[in-house]
Amino acid sequence: MLFNSWHFVAFLLVVLSVAMWLPRYGTAWKLFIIGASCYFYGQWSYLYLGLIFVTAGVDFTLAQRLGRVMRPSRLLALSIVANLGVLAVFKYTNFAIQSINGVANAAGAAFAITPLDIVLPVGISFYTFQNMSYTIDVYRGQLKPRTSILDYATFTTFFPQLLAGPIVRASEFFGQLDKPNPIVWRDLQYGLVLIAAGYVKKVVLADNLAPSVDAVFNSPASAGAWQSLLAVYAFAFQIYFDFSGYTDIAIGMALLFGFKFPKNFDYPYMASSFQEFWRRWHMTLSRWLRDYLYISLGGNRNGLSRTMANLMTTMVLGGLWHGASWNFVIWGALHGAYLALERMLLSRMAWWRSTNVFAKLLIRQYLT
């Protein structure tokens, strides 16, 4: 079920109409939201809906046991392997097979592995990262494990952010579920404005840019230089309007239910550096990669060379998260290289400024 369909609009109106009469965040409300979310996801596949509950059940169970065992790191490792294993099977198996076949073909080998008939579950990258953030936060002592599977199921299946984010952390969701803020008219107004803006971005802008972009990208040889250049810029705005429009709708819908989700885009094309760009583009993914991957690798604590290596690793894996192809790996590597080079240049500039100031002080002290 797509956000830009009349089916979804009718679904949302019905869900809001029923939810507003139920005790807010009570058992009946949670059960209704879980049921509505299951119907929402089930319009794509009820079969893969079970995958969401299986992975959620694994993380819920492991998180409860983290504080009761001698070596909680083993349970954390099990949670990470389970989540990334499921993601790898569905998203990267055929990518690995195609890569092996490509290498074999280049080497002149006569064999080829047949790709598997696997359908990528919608939203798997998003709810996998949300589940992982929960168990990692519990392991780090930043969050207490939930005692109610109903609460955790509500967090995992909540339909506004189920398919494409924003990536909401468990601490953000449960904090509002346990201590709900009053739903004020200002938040409702802002939510409706966000939803309207999201639909304009998605339906009016992104969907109307797509045909001209596809025409050039599908037959680049027949396009001229200026037409190709315009198509590249049009594609940049198409993906921005499409993705940011979707998350605007999701954040706006969450406000109608009383939840404040984190901002996901902040005028990224206004950024003046690559570092600033990644603080503005898909912000919830950027902070996830920073807090759970980059900092875990050591961040910028072990010198410039290690920092650059950590940036490269983070961005390559971030590129692979976006899609299972070498194009995304190269895209991530390029952004990692840009960030590393920018960090190196900034460190050199900082050194030059510091030494320059020191030189000025020496001149002022001894030569004047």
Answer for the pair 332, 318: CB distance below 8 angstroms, yes or no: yes
Rounded CA-CA distance 99/316 in Å is 17
> Containing domain of residue 283, as a range?
270-368
Tokens of 25: 């965040």
For the chain, the distance separating the N- and C-terminal CA atoms, rounded to the nearest angstrom, is: 76
Rounded CA-CA distance 190/248 in Å is 11
Q: Which residues of the chain have pLDDT under 70?
A: 349-368
pLDDT of residue 366: 44
1, part of any domain: no
The conformation of residue 284, written as its DSSP 8-state character, comes to H
233, part of any domain: yes
| Same structural domain, 150 and 259 | no
Answer for the pair 244, 276: CB distance below 8 angstroms, yes or no: no
| Same structural domain, 87 and 163 | yes
pTM: predicted TM-score of the whole model, two decimal places:
0.86
- Domain limit, last residue, from 133, 149, 176: 176
Torsion over CA of 274, 276, 277 and 278, rounded to 10 degrees?
Answer: 90
- Domain limit, last residue, from 176, 196, 223: 176
| Same structural domain, 304 and 197 | no
**Kindly report the CA angle at 240 between 37 and 247, in degrees rounded to 5?**
25
- Domain limit, last residue, from 227, 250, 265: 265
280, part of any domain: yes
By annotation, the residues acting in catalysis are 322
Tokens of 230: 């315009």
Tokens of 86: 């499921």
| Same structural domain, 56 and 145 | yes
Coil vs helix vs strand at 158: coil
Q: Into how many domains does the chain fold?
A: 3
| Same structural domain, 51 and 171 | yes
Rounded CA-CA distance 136/333 in Å is 26
Prior bond of 166 cis (ω within 30°): yes
| Same structural domain, 143 and 20 | yes
